[in-house]
Structure 1
Amino acid sequence: MDFINLALLAVFIPTFFVVSITPGMCMTLSLSMGMSIGLKKTFYMMYGELLGVALVATSSVIGVATIMLKYPTIFLVLKYGGGAYLIYLGVQMWLSRGKMAINLDECNYNISKKSLAIQGFITAIANPKGWAFFIALLPPFIDDSLPMTSQLVVLIIMILLLEFLCLIIYASGGKTLRKLLQDSSNVRLVNKVAGTLMMIIGVWLASS
């Protein structure tokens, strides 16, 4: 294919899957709703969340393209800043602190389908992790010898597919995970594992 670097795409898919599957605002929301209202109704939240992710990704892509072409120095600063932010989130999750860490104290979402979709959309666009990920993640997987637009379109499509898959995984496993996570020590263990993965990705992005 002359519009996408397949080698970079092959690395991007598992990398973003790890990033997407890491507990955060949207995944914890999907997990909680899966526990309380079931998978079928949680799909409405997912539709809104994916629309929000598409908006955030597109906005980030426009900024990334502009920075890459006109302001390479600023791009490097943002990349290092993004990596540092991911490491910070990882440390917070390791300590079971902050909004990114799993917290299942509140999981009652007895609301309408429209409200579910709006909740998903707002959660996605207000999620600082999403903005940082897209700004920091996309540049290392763009081949400057190939057309920018086609690469970004493919990457955004893959992002939405992987995000949707992870949302389904969290919602589907909600009831089983609820039993597992009732023990606070298990909650801390999951946060430590997720935080470690987050820190590893942050170091890789900053050093790539």
Structure 2
Amino acid sequence: MELGTWITFFLATVAISLSPGPGAIAAMGAGLNHGFRRGQRIAFGLALGVWTQLAIVGVGLGALLATSGTAFAVVKWLGVAYLVWLGIQQWRAPAAPLVAHDDAAATTTTRELVLRGWTVNAVNPKGTVFLLAVLPQFVDPAQPLLAQYLVIGATFGAVEFSVMSGYAALAARVLGLFRTPRQMRGLNRVFGSLFVLAGALLATFKRAA
């Protein structure tokens, strides 16, 4: 991949990662409830989800997902159900303020946070359809495809991890100023509602005809 092409792709991935969506909501929710050190672990899962989407597109399954109405519907409604479930969980999260040492909600394991992040990005056919439309602009079929996909995957994963870590830090540092149980309960319900809204928006998404 030429440097000019990579720079363009890098800027595109930054814009994609910064755009509000389920990943950003998940990262901020984790930062709010677990503090930055623990909450940042969800960013690993979100990056893994991006790599999963790239692998799906790279091996050709993305085209099947985009053209098969049944496959698309199954994955879409799985994603919708998961986002709504996350919304309910966030709505019901304990109204406990963050503490100085980031040990709030210590019962949530690293594995659970990583899996949550992976699922948010992986079970999202909207991301697959988007990558199918974008990737061909940056892949040169005359050059070795594996090397290009490795560069694309490393770039997208690094950007996604960095941006989502930033969202988690923002929630932990800024929203962490809210200390009272009433304030925390209100924030949890806001984020819970955002998850449900993200699920509702995904439910309206349709593959291109």
Say whether the fold is shared (TM-score over 0.5): yes
Give the TM-score normalised by the residue count of structure 1.
0.60
Query: Could you report, residue by residue, the CA deviation over 1:3-23 in whole angstroms, capped at 9, with x for unpaired residues?
Result: x12211111101111011111
Asked if 1:9 is matched to 2:6, the reply is yes
Asked if 1:108 is matched to 2:89, the reply is no
Quote how far apart the aligned CAs of 1:170 are: 0.4
Q: Kindly tell me: are residues 129 and 38 of structure 1, through their superposed partners in 2, closer, same or farther at Cα, counting changes over 3 Å?
A: farther
Unaligned runs of 5+ residues in structure 1 are 68-73, 79-98, 192-208
* Residue aligning to 1:120: 117
How many residues are paired up? 152
Quote how far apart the aligned CAs of 1:177 are: 5.5
Matched ranges for 1:1-208 at <5 A: 4-63=1-60, 106=91, 108=93, 110=105, 111-175=108-172, 178=175
> Which contiguous aligned blocks of 4+ residues in structure 1 show a shift greater than 3 angstroms?
105-110, 175-179
Q: Contact 1:33/1:108 (CA < 8 Å) preserved in 2? A: no
Q: Kindly tell me: are residues 168 and 157 of structure 1, through their superposed partners in 2, closer, same or farther at Cα, counting changes over 3 Å?
A: same
RMSD: 3.6
* Residue aligning to 2:102: none
Q: Kindly tell me: are residues 32 and 154 of structure 1, through their superposed partners in 2, closer, same or farther at Cα, counting changes over 3 Å?
A: same
Aligned sequence identity (%): 23
Unaligned runs of 5+ residues in structure 2 are 68-82, 95-104, 177-182, 184-189, 195-209
Query: Could you report, residue by residue, the CA deviation over 1:72-104 in whole angstroms, capped at 9, with x for unpaired residues?
Result: xx9xx98xxxxxxxxxxxxxxxxxxxx7xxx9x
Q: Kindly tell me: are residues 12 and 107 of structure 1, through their superposed partners in 2, closer, same or farther at Cα, counting changes over 3 Å?
A: farther
Quote how far apart the aligned CAs of 1:144 are: 2.9
Distance 1:165 1:138 in 2: 21
Q: Kindly tell me: are residues 132 and 14 of structure 1, through their superposed partners in 2, closer, same or farther at Cα, counting changes over 3 Å?
A: same
